[in-house]
Amino acid sequence: MFKKLLFFMFFSIFTSLHAQETWNFPAISISDENQDAIGAQVVINTNDKAIASWQRSDGSNTIIQTKYSTDGGSSWSSSPANLSASGENAGSSKIAMNISKAVAIWHRYDESNWIIQSKYSTNAGTSWSEATTNLSSVSQNANSPEIAMNNSSKAVAIWRRDNGSNYIIQTKYSTDGGANWNVTATDLSVVGQDSFVPNVVINDSDKAIAIWGRYDGSDFRIQVKYSTDGGVNWNASPIDLSALGESVGECQIALNNSDEAIAIWTRYDGSNYIVQTKYSTDAGATWSPSASDLSDAGQDSRRPQIVLNNSSKAIAIWERHSGYNWMVQTKNSSDSGANWSLTATDLSVSGNKSGCPNITLTDSNNAIAIWKRHSGYNWIVQTKDSQDGGSTWSSSATDLSTAGQDGYQPEISINSSGQAVVIWPRFDGFKWVIQTINNLTAAYLESLEEYSQTN
């Protein structure tokens, strides 16, 4: 009886904090601590299967490694799987995942050039294909790989590759979760000028949109192309999203299963870089005529991120300089980017600089934002959450990484039930180590209550 009473005391505390996520402290170190590991990424599917990837030094070169979790990130496989071959450097790993299949993509040096490579898994990352597939041609450098996959295992890979004169955005597609890819890469950007920072998305009706920045001879412009068949074919000419006259910076895109899409980027306004968006209601075929300015003028903004759910709720997040330090800010939309909240919300606290924001959003409008903030001594990974699609946020930030050493470049993934996993590299005083932490969802806490009642 006493144990049950004690449990309900703790459970009532957890549930009373429903407006703020409960995290499964302490964070877990999942990379070998004998060598540096950086460049962490994580994905999680609807069955709480998660895959983490990173690049780690083997003493001579950096190799791509992964671990998997079958319980939403509470525990991880004991030994990492090496995806890239030893002998040369590899980096920039990205993973896409559905209910059972996963595709990993990265770039690796082949002693002459950087090549885009891929492996696939048919069991949520428990094991991976023996053979590595070269996606880009080996005769020139390729980098900046990105990957997207839908629930029917249609996958689209994108990267930029040197054609001998300029960097061109290229893509390939797979219809079987990365086991096989089309033979010849498709050039998405027009030759003659450099293109950069590609990103790609695909929804469950096989609509795909690719976005990138391209130099037009005077300035960099944001461009998109769209596909209605999972990346097999693309519209003929790129669509310019950003206005003429000034250069753009980073860009990203989001797409839901209703074919609603939002593109986000930074653009110079003559004085500062401003976060801008446009929206589409037809999977990228047409776009709103004018861009919306999300960040305030007067100071620079950078590193925009965008999420969009199947309820047409969207959240944008970015860094903006306050005149003293970089702050993490956000705005939300309830109509797929047609309209945005008037005033940006400061998520990070002023006084010290913050950066590297990332954001997730479920179809139930639960959102989690993460970033790094300097404590005056070290970089600390922090988080806030929202239960209403970004309209309001938890009052105080939660520190996820331990003080005393730097935590850096956090990434987050969340599934439909709200199970989230956060990953970051943290310096332990000697080496960079990959760490993860997951949240304790309401369903998990309710299962504890049920267990207590029956035991």
Q: Quickly list DSSP for 26-95.
A: SPEE-S-TTS-EEEEEEEE-TTS-EEEEEEEE-SSSEEEEEEEESSTTSS--SSPEE-SPTTS-EEEEEE
Residue 312, C-beta contacts closer than 8 angstroms, at least 6 positions apart: 256, 258, 260, 334, 335, 336
Tokens of 378: 């070290």
Q: How far apart are CA 101 and CA 451, in angstroms?
A: 32
Residue type, 189: S
Query: Under 8 Å CB-to-CB from 272, ≥6 apart: which residues?
Result: 297, 298, 299, 300, 301
Sequence-separated (6 or more) residues with CB below 8 Å from residue 245: 219
Q: Provide the whole-model pTM.
A: 0.94
Domains of the chain: 2-454 (2.120.10.10)
Give the residue among 156, 166, 165, 237 at the shortest CA–CA distance from 195. 166
- Hey, CA dihedral for 162, 163, 169, 171, is it positive or negative? negative
**The pLDDT value given to residue 9:** 45
Residue by residue, pLDDT tens for the chain (455 residues) are 444 444 444 444 444 444 589 999 999 999 999 999 999 999 999 999 999 999 999 999 999 999 999 999 999 999 999 999 999 999 999 999 999 999 999 999 999 999 999 999 999 999 999 999 999 999 999 999 999 999 999 999 999 999 999 999 999 999 999 999 999 999 999 999 999 999 999 999 999 999 999 999 999 999 999 999 999 999 999 999 999 999 999 999 999 999 999 999 999 999 999 999 999 999 999 999 999 999 999 999 999 999 999 999 999 999 999 999 999 999 999 999 999 999 999 999 999 999 999 999 999 999 999 999 999 999 999 999 999 999 999 999 999 999 999 999 999 999 999 999 999 999 999 999 999 999 998 766 666 566 567 76
Question: If DSSP codes are grouped into helix, strand and coil, which group holds residue 119?
Answer: strand
Q: Say if CB 372 and CB 391 are below 8 A apart.
A: no
The pLDDT assigned to 14 comes to 44
Lateral strand order in the sheet of 133-134? 90-97, 102-109, 114-121, 133-134
What distance in Å separates the CA atoms of residue 56 and residue 65, rounded to the nearest whole number?
7
Token code pair at residue 215? 């130099």
CA atoms within 13 A on the CB side of 65: 23
> Rounded to whole angstroms, how far apart are CA atoms 419 and 442?
9
How far apart CA 119 and CA 154 sit, in angstroms, is 15
Rounded CA-CA distance 428/156 in Å is: 37
